[in-house]
A and B are shown apart, each in its own frame.
Chain A
Amino acid sequence: MSELIATLKVQIIEQLNLQHLKPEDIGDDQPLFVEGLGLDSIDALELIVLLQQKYGIKLANPQDGPQVFKTVRSIADYITAHKSK
């Protein structure tokens, strides 16, 4: 799990062009949106692309985004749950 989380942080920085951040700047349980990292709705779409491109997981309903993309850990959980299927 911690390996997946570490990989995800690198991928998130790359996908969202967060060049001003280093992986260690993002906490595992830090909220990614609004008050946390300050990501927005376009970033949510980019994260959907990331899940599909890197993990082959399709998030069909964008309304699920806020729950899945809450923190790096919640994304990792979602990936783990859906990869094994």
Chain B
Amino acid sequence: MALYINGIGCISPQHTFYNSVFLPEVKEYTTNRMACVDADYSKFFDSGSIRRMGRLMKYGTASGMIALKDAGIDVPGAISTGTALGLPEISQKFLRSLIEVNETIVSPTAFIQSTHNTVSSNIALLCGCHAHNNTFSHKGFSFESALTDAGLLAKENVDNILVGAYDEVSDYKYAVMKKTNELRKEPCSSLDVYGEKSHGIIAGEGAAFFVLAKEKSENTYGSFVGNKAFYKPESMEEIKNHILSFLKENNSSLADIDVVITGISGAMEADSVRIALNKSLFSTQTIVAYKHLCGVYMTSSAFAFWLASKMMKAQQIPDTVILENRNRSPKNILLYNSHKHNHSLMLFKAC
């Protein structure tokens, strides 16, 4: 069942806070870590509640509220979210304090924000939503599962579903990535999308939320046709089969696809598959990359969802995301992303 994308909200390492513009200027990073462009969150929260919130809590909740406002919805029919790591920075603040004082006395404020559903419940609290409220925390399937949940909810007659994802790169996670040599060597440019200089990834983060509805509105960005997640494909053939069968299941075919959003990131092994696909299966489509804008994180496909929404509504593809230009307008968009063993497909259609 295709659902209309009637509202969006995105806070990322780029200037995505305002829905009225579409990547007005591209922010280049010369370090191997990107952080969300901070905004003034005081208008979203009262001073009583904002004082306790960690950074992710603020930008995660705010992007959800932006999406609701964009759609003109006060209370969504349900909320489903994905976060691979929950709220690591504030959880580790608690962990640090308990180690420092050797478990004697620790303050509870950080602990109460450590559960992974803190953002989705905070949104529910702010908009008074008593409906279904779910949070998936499964690596590169976190946002994908929330989308599957949204699809189920739609079949169960729920409308105006708020779906989204959020993650942050904590100092600890960054140290781990550094240690395991996953990161691109500094100094580097985030704008080198692929080629020799792009070996290694840039750690990123962000939050993106969407209101999915059964009826089109004046604000509709396009439609979300469906998604599919698959685990540990054993060969390139298997990946291709998943892509083709996914398109078929959604009454589409490769010939219909105008734009492919690829997860190219600088991670050598995964990129070799992506590049091979872009050369073989996707030889007539315009290829779009996005991780040079938001960095690598496990729910980055939510940023790609945002990009697809913006492209569909504007009927325009910003130069910065074009990897291979085959002069196609963004009508039918396919996303193929992967994070290690988690592979993800999404299909969009402009209205």
Contacts and interface: CB of A to CB of B under 8 A. Distances in A.
Contacts of A52: 105
A2 interface: no
Contacts of B51: 16-20
Contact of B47 (A20, A46, A49): A20
Interface string B28-71: 00000000000000000001100110000000000000000000
A15 B107 contact: yes
Contacts of A45: 107-108
B48 A38 contact: yes
Interface residues of B, number: 10
Contacts of B108: 42, 45-46, 49
B270 interface: no
A63 interface: no
B127 interface: no
A45 B110 CA distance: 12
Contacts of A17: 51-52, 109
Contacts of A42: 52, 108-109, 112
Interface string A18-44: 111000000000000000001000100
Contacts, number: 25
Contacts of A15: 107
Contact of B106 (A18, A19, A38, A49): A49
Q: Size range of the interface on A?
A: 10 to 19
Nearest to B51: A17
Contacts of B105: 49, 52-53
Interface string B52-95: 10000000000000000000000000000000000000000000
Interface string B102-125: 000111110010000000000000
Nearest to A13: B51
Contacts of B107: 15, 45-46, 49
Contacts of B48: 38
Contacts of A16: 51
B97 to A, nearest CB: 10
Nearest to B47: A20
A10 B106 CA distance: 19
Interface string B296-310: 000000000000000
B49 to A, nearest CB: 10
Given A16-B51, A49-B107, 8 more contacts: A15-B107, A17-B51, A18-B51, A19-B51, A42-B108, A42-B109, A45-B107, A52-B105
Interface of B: 47-48, 51-52, 105-109, 112
Interface of A: 15-20, 38, 42, 45-46, 49, 52-53
22 contacts: A15-B107, A16-B51, A17-B51, A17-B109, A18-B51, A20-B47, A20-B51, A38-B48, A42-B52, A42-B108, A42-B109, A42-B112, A45-B107, A45-B108, A46-B107, A46-B108, A46-B109, A49-B105, A49-B106, A49-B107, A49-B108, A52-B105
